[in-house]
Chains A and B, each alone.
Chain A
Amino acid sequence: NAGVMQNPRHLVRRRGQEARLRCSPMKGHSHVYWYRQLPEEGLKFMVYLQKENIIDESGMPKERFSAEFPKEGPSILRIQQVVRGDSAAYFCASSPVVDTEAFFGQGTRLTVV
C-alpha cells in the first residue's frame, strides 16, 4: 500500500506564474489535509477536503490560493500569480475516516524566483 504521494517533489516558478501541487491520498483514504511549512517554522493548516467538498478552508490565504479534491484523481492545491513569499514546503496528509491519524506525504518544495 503506497503512502501519500505528492508531486512534483520540487517546483520552481517565476513570480506571476501558477503553481499546481498534486496529492494522491493513501488507498481508501477520503480525507485530505494541506499544510504549509515556511522556512524554519512549523506546519500551518491550510485546508481540509473530502471528495468533492471543501470542509474547512480557514487556513487558506484569501486570494490566489484554491484547493480541490475531485471525485476522480488527486487533490490539487493551486496557487495563482505566485510571489516570493509563497516559497515553502507544502505537505498533504490523508486519513481514512474522521478523527483518525492522518499520514503525511513527502511534500512539495516550491521555490519562487
Chain B
Amino acid sequence: ELKVEQNPLFLSMQEGKNYTIYCNYSTTSDRLYWYRQDPGKSLESLFVLLSNGAVKQEGRLMASLDTKARLSTLHITAAVHDLSATYFCAVDWGETSGSRLTFGEGTQLTVNP
C-alpha cells in the first residue's frame, strides 16, 4: 500500500521568511502533484513533477522531486499572507492506466504579518 507522509502538518511562519514542506512516499511513482486548498474550497493544482530531478517554480513557490529518495519538497520563499492555505502532495499510483492519487495529510500553513 502506498503511503504518503507530509511534514510538518502545521506551519506558522512570519511574512518574509523561507520554509520547506516535505513529502515522502513509500513506493516508486511516475508522477507527483502539489495542490493548494483554501478553507471550504476545491484543490488548485500548483505543480506536476514527472521525473527525477524535476524542479518547477511559480512565484514564491518552488517544488522539486527526488525519485530515488522518494522525496518531494515545496519551498516557500519570502512568505506573504496570501500563501496561507493547506498544501497537499499527492502521488499517482495508477499502475496500468488512470490517474489515481494517494494524498498526504496536508500541511496547514499560516503566514503571520
Contacts and interface: CB of A to CB of B under 8 A. Distances in A.
Interface of A: 31, 33, 35, 41-45, 48, 55-56, 91, 93, 95, 98-107, 109
B45 interface: yes
7 contacts: A41-B105, A42-B88, A43-B103, A48-B94, A98-B99, A100-B99, A101-B45
Contacts of B69: none
A48 to B, nearest CB: 5
B41 A31 contact: no
Contacts of A31: 98-99
A33 B45 CA distance: 16
Nearest to B30: A99
B21 to A, nearest CB: 13
B42 A56 contact: no
Nearest to B105: A42
